[in-house]
Amino acid sequence: MKQGQKTRVGAIGGGQLAWMMALEAEALGLELIVQTPKSSDPAVSRASEVIFGAIADATTTEQLAQRCDAITFENEFIDLDALAPLEQSGICFRPRLSALKPLLDKYDQRCFLRDLGIPVPWFQSIDWHHQPENLPFPVVLKTRRQGYDGQGTLILKDREQFNQAAKTFADVPVLVEEFVPFERELAVMAARFSSGEVVVYPVVESQQINQVCRWVLVPAEVEETVQKKVNQMAQTLLNELEVVGIFGIEFFLTPDGQVLVNEIAPRTHNSGHFSLDACQTSQFAQHLRAVADLPVGDPSLKCGGAVMVNLLGYEDSESEYLDQREAIAQIPGSHVHWYGKPEVRPGRKLGHVTVCTDSTKREQLVAIAQKIESIWYPG
């Protein structure tokens, strides 16, 4: 591996996150080499080079390492144990594998945060052979590994639903946690550099439906004390793990002002997509800057406020939805990003739109999000 600045970055994963990373890599004068399983994956059309192979295939990752100076991750579907010998041989992973180890399993992640003194909801690992008797229903059941966009997450209202889940997830490691009657869901992107410097993006509010993000409002209309709590937790987490790269952190804000960590994504994240158009330095450029040892970028907004709306599939088709996309593009300040996925299915993230505006008022930002959704979704 080369010393100092890194010019060839490898990315394990070739979805839309790597696609957007590739756009920013080109602007930064970096080459992005992607490891991904399918030629139809979004990043294939943008990456400097592609190595085809499964995400968790360490043999393919070894080939990737021969072509780059450092390797980062687009998703968490990796095999840490298989990658460990590569890191020990001198291959540079950013974040390093030891920073990912306490985070990829959701139960381990909860324990790590709790032990660090960062507030989290009540939680418990489940042994289906010795089921707990007194659960505080309703509870949230989560698979411990590889759940995303609501997959592997269920809200269980009573013992009957719990017993049904026991049949469905009989062979799957899971945990349960309390259902938090939150006032709002918040999120933040934070990046740490090898120098130890941490930069935190504006705190945002996210709107989730069926555990899938529908839109993000920037900045979140919350008290300064809440912003400080979020900022402090982000800095504590990244410094404790000695991260190099960007993390997305999701929070619950309760009616009495508590801020609880919901989940951590050790990578670029959907809640930071607004930064492509609304910030001086996007989350993708910031992540690459950290990974490649480039100077720290400015995370501040270059507009008053912004709205990011996910364009989710609502049917099975192969449509490009050109009419809807063109109508959304007519909204002042809008920037439409289309990922070019060949298959449409309900809930699949097909693209997103960010609208930059002078307003920071929540009701005005919500109105913009609702206007976009009225164009996108039929009826």
Annotated binding site for ATP: 106, 142, 177-180, 185, 262-263
CA 50, CA 18: separation in Å to the nearest integer? 11
Closest C-alpha among 17, 336, 20, 359 to residue 219: 359
Alpha-helix residue ranges (DSSP H) falling in the chain: 16-28, 58-65, 80-88, 97-100, 106-116, 159-168, 224-241, 275-278, 283-291, 322-329, 362-376
Q: Is the peptide bond before 138 cis (omega within 30 degrees of 0)?
A: yes
The annotation places the binding site at 106, 142, 177-180, 185, 262-263
The neighbouring-strand residues paired with 263 are: 250
CA 145 to chain CA centroid, nearest Å: 15
The closest of 142, 140, 137 to 160, measured between CA atoms, is: 137
CA-based Rg of the chain, rounded to a whole angstrom?
Answer: 20
The answer to whether the beta carbons of residues 72 and 12 sit under 8 Å apart is yes
SS (H, E, C) 122-145: CEEEECCCCCCCCCCCCEEEEECC
Q: Let me know: does 68 contact 9? Beta carbons within 8 Å.
A: yes
Token couple for 133 = 């008797």
Query: Are the C-beta atoms of 50 and 34 separated by less than 8 Å?
Result: yes
Dihedral, CA of residue 218, residue 221, residue 223 and residue 226, to nearest 10? -50
Q: Which residue has the tokens 């069926």?
A: 210
CB 31 within 8 A of CB 9: yes
What is the spatial distance between Cα 318 and Cα 244, in angstroms, rounded to a whole number?
A: 38
Q: What are phi and psi of 261, to 5 degrees?
A: -75, 130
